[in-house]
């Protein structure tokens, strides 16, 4: 079985050709700088380039025997809790959700439309970043604002990184030798965007990102948690418009705003050279993680493991040990020798006798999308 996975951003399309039963990639690539100088003019041209690269590497598209095309869609609102076979109605609903994710959903939708036109005989499956978090209970997803207004505009916590957290949760249970339905986890997805999720019995019960990916942890360029009053204050006193504030909180804050670099490797380099702003930035990054770990240990009551994943989580031993420092009373401890190795395989970095295991589990969102798309197509009546 072969699945084509398309992950379309505002200026790039990543693609992978995957056998969902095995992690090996049959082909992969990225078309970048869409709409920029020196790049392809638009998403249609980018998708044609994807097709050309696939044909060059793997032969005619029609002969690939594609079982499905899996599309990553960022925001599914409260309409999509599962991977979904796309028809015109589903496309329309995704379009209606665009205001919730104005930067992310429109490019995904464009790629979806074009790919359906290009490959009309292959089932297209939309896999949503928000879907895994549709199991959140009302106490976790409700904001304490006027009920009617919130309902009318869909103001609530949705959560993101769900595809990654779903994949990592299953892999973590496997590493622990436990049934996923009987495994409680705190999953820390620390990439450019970053989130914490409490998983009880394989289901998301709380997560740090909210209506948008802005809430929660300190990220590469996003503030994470901030008093909304600070934004009203900046509007009134500094004259920042709504668009200015959107840019400030999403693009020029976080590690970038604090230290001048959004990549933690660079922040570490500056901190070691004595830069105090960089030192505070990385301390604050870890402090916010510890804050959420504490909260989610309380939410879960009993956690079997804390799991680190994504670019920072998989590679940065300093962040892992600092963010969990001082939690021994809660059964959480990092073994410094185990923590010092980087591996492409899932591994345990806590001491054997620790109450709560600490794991590093490499994520694989594309494989998860391929598996979910294949699972849906196999289950669907022919």
Q: Which is nearer to ligand ADP, 265 or 272 (CB)?
A: 265
Is residue 356 within 8 A of residue 306, CB to CB? The reply is yes
Decide whether 185 or 264 has the Cβ nearer to ligand ADP. Answer: 264
Measured from the CB of residue 15, what is the shortest distance to ligand ADP in angstroms?
15
Site for ligand ADP in 254-283 (CB under 6 A): 263-265
Report, in Å, the least distance between residue 282 CB and ligand ADP: 10
CA 205 to chain centre: 16
- Contact range with ligand ADP by CB under 6 A, out of 29-37, 134-142, 145-153, 185-193: 185-193
Output the smallest distance, CB 181 to ligand ADP, in A: 27
Assess 364 for contact with ligand ADP (CB under 6 A).
no
Closer residue to ligand ADP in complex, CB, 231/258: 258
Residue 192 within binding range of ligand ADP, rule CB under 6 A: yes
Report, in Å, the least distance between residue 191 CB and ligand ADP: 3
Residue 268 CB, shortest distance to ligand ADP, in Å, is: 7
Taking residues 152 to 171 in sequence order and writing x for each that binds ligand ADP by CB under 6 A, - otherwise, the string is: --------------------
Q: How many residues bind ligand ADP (CB under 6 A)?
A: 12
Task: Tell me whether residue 64 or residue 215 sits nearer to ligand ADP (CB atom).
Answer: 215
**In the complex, least distance from residue 159 CB atom to ligand ADP, rounded to whole angstroms:** 15
Cα dihedral sign, 58-60-63-67: positive
Q: Which of 76, 193, 202, 257 contacts ligand ADP by CB under 6 A?
A: 193
Q: Tell me how far CA of residue 162 lies from CA of 148, 187, 236, 270, 310, in angstroms.
A: 27, 10, 36, 33, 13
Compare residues 259 and 348 and give the one whose CB is closer to ligand ADP. 259
Counting contacts by CB under 6 A, is residue 220 touching ligand ADP? yes
Find the residue with minimal CB distance to ligand ADP.
Answer: 311
Of 129, 206, 316, 364, which one is the catalytic site residue? 129
User: Which one, 33 or 302, has the nearer CB to ligand ADP?
Assistant: 33
Q: Is 275 designated active site?
A: no
Residues shown for the chain: 382
Instruction: Build a one-symbol-per-residue string for 121-140: x at contacts with ligand ADP by CB under 6 A, - elsewhere.
Output: --------------------
Structure tokens at 284: 């604050």
Residue 32 binds ligand ADP (CB under 6 A): no
Q: 297 to 356, contacts with ligand ADP by CB under 6 A?
A: 310-312, 315-316
213: tokens are 């990916």
Give dist(CA 207, CA 300) in Å, integer.
Answer: 12
Nearest approach, Cβ of residue 234 and ligand ADP (Å): 26
Q: Which is nearer to ligand ADP, 141 or 167 (CB)?
A: 167
Cα 191 to chain centroid distance, Å, stands at 8
Active site residues: 129
Binding site residues, ligand ADP, CB under 6 A: 191-193, 220, 263-265, 310-312, 315-316
């Amino acid at each position: 079985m072969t699945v084509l996975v398309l992950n379309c951003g505002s200026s790039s399309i990543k693609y992978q050709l995957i056998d969902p039963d095995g992690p090996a990639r049959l082909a992969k690539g990225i078309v970048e700088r869409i709409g920029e100088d020196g790049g392809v003019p638009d998403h249609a041209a980018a998708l044609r380039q994807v097709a050309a690269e696939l044909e060059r590497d793997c032969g005619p598209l029609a002969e690939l025997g594609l079982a499905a095309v899996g599309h990553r869609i960022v925001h599914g609102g409260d309409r999509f809790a599962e991977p979904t076979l796309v028809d015109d109605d589903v496309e329309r609903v995704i379009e209606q959700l665009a205001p919730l994710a104005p930067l992310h959903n429109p490019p995904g939708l464009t790629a979806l439309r074009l790919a359906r036109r290009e490959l009309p005989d292959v089932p297209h499956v939309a896999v949503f970043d928000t879907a895994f978090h549709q199991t959140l209970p009302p106490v976790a997803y409700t904001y304490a604002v006027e009920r009617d207004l919130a309902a009318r505009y869909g103001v609530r916590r949705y959560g993101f990184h769900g595809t990654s957290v779903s994949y990592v949760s299953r892999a973590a249970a496997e590493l622990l030798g436990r049934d996923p339905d009987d495994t409680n986890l705190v999953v820390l997805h620390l990439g450019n965007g970053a989130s914490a999720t409490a998983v009880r019995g394989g289901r998301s019960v709380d997560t740090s990102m909210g209506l948008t990916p802005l809430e929660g942890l300190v990220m590469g360029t996003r503030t994470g948690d901030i008093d909304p009053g600070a934004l009203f204050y900046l509007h009134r006193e500094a004259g920042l418009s709504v668009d200015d504030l959107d840019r400030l909180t999403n693009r020029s804050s976080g590690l970038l705003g604090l230290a001048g670099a959004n990549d933690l490797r660079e922040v570490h380099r500056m901190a070691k050279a004595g830069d105090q702003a960089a030192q505070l930035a990385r301390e604050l990054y870890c402090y916010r993680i510890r804050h959420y770990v504490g909260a989610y240990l309380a939410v879960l009551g009993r956690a079997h493991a804390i799991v680190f994943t994504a670019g920072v989580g998989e590679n940065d031993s300093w962040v892992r040990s600092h963010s969990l420092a001082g939690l021994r009373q809660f059964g959480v401890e990092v073994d410094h020798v185990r923590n010092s190795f980087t591996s492409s395989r899932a591994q345990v970095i806590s001491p054997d006798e620790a109450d709560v295991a600490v794991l590093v589990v490499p994520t694989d969102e594309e494989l998860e999308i391929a598996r979910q798309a294949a699972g849906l197509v196999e289950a669907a009546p022919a």
